[in-house]
Amino acid sequence: MKLAGCSRWTNVVRFLVLLGLLILATACKDQDLVFKPDFSINLFYPGPKWPNVKKLGKVEQDVYQRYGKPQAFRVLWPPNGDIRQRSDLEEAFAKQPKVIPPYSWVYPQQGIEIVFRGQGYEEQPLSDKVRLVLKYGDPEDVKELSSGIVQWTYYSVGKMIKLRAGRVVEVKEFPPMGRFIKN
């Protein structure tokens, strides 16, 4: 039993290190990025020296001039770009660790997310799911309930949030549980 837990932990650590290296190596070469895998595998952040404007493409430069520095970048995991859990991605990265998915620029103050598509970009309203991940990190537990309701539990902050069609429909609070607290 102890060996199985150790093996799983080793796989998680391997996955997180690989993901961090992939993002840092392929997403924005020579850019100042911050990756916090204990908080979220769906987000990474611009560092204090971001951006290296010379390394941004023309469309990215236009977005940067129009909106400024994003608060975060959201990884658009295939196939639909939705928020993912570590457990969903461990097998995928064990099989294909070569390509990082595209990512968006997140602007919570404006309530938008910029998704780059080919030679252009698209403004999307910021979803409740992305707002939750920005605020609390990845949920520690996700359960599909009846009637299309999904429950996200954040033991670290003591919140149980029910979503329907990606929108928050109910929030319950409980005392946070220490070992889950994120940095």
pLDDT digits (tens, 9 = 90+) for 52-70: 888 899 999 999 999 999 9
Q: What pLDDT, on the 0 to 100 scale, is given for residue 27? A: 45
Q: Tens of pLDDT along 108-166?
A: 999 999 999 888 999 999 999 999 999 999 999 999 999 999 999 999 999 999 999 98
In this prediction, residue 32 has a pLDDT band, given cuts at 50, 70 and 90, of: confident
The 3-state DSSP class for residue 158 equals coil
CA pair distance 157, 181, nearest whole angstrom: 7
Q: 64, exposed or middle or buried, with CB in 10 Å at 0-12, 13-18, 19+?
A: middle
Tell me the percentage of the chain whose pLDDT exceeds 70.
73
* Count of beta carbons in the 10 Å neighbourhood of residue 82: 13
Residues 6+ apart with CB under 8 A from 58: none
Residues 6+ apart with CB under 8 A from 155: 140, 141, 176, 177, 180
Q: What pLDDT, on the 0 to 100 scale, is given for residue 22? A: 54
* Strand partners of residue 125: 112
Whether the model pTM is above 0.75: yes
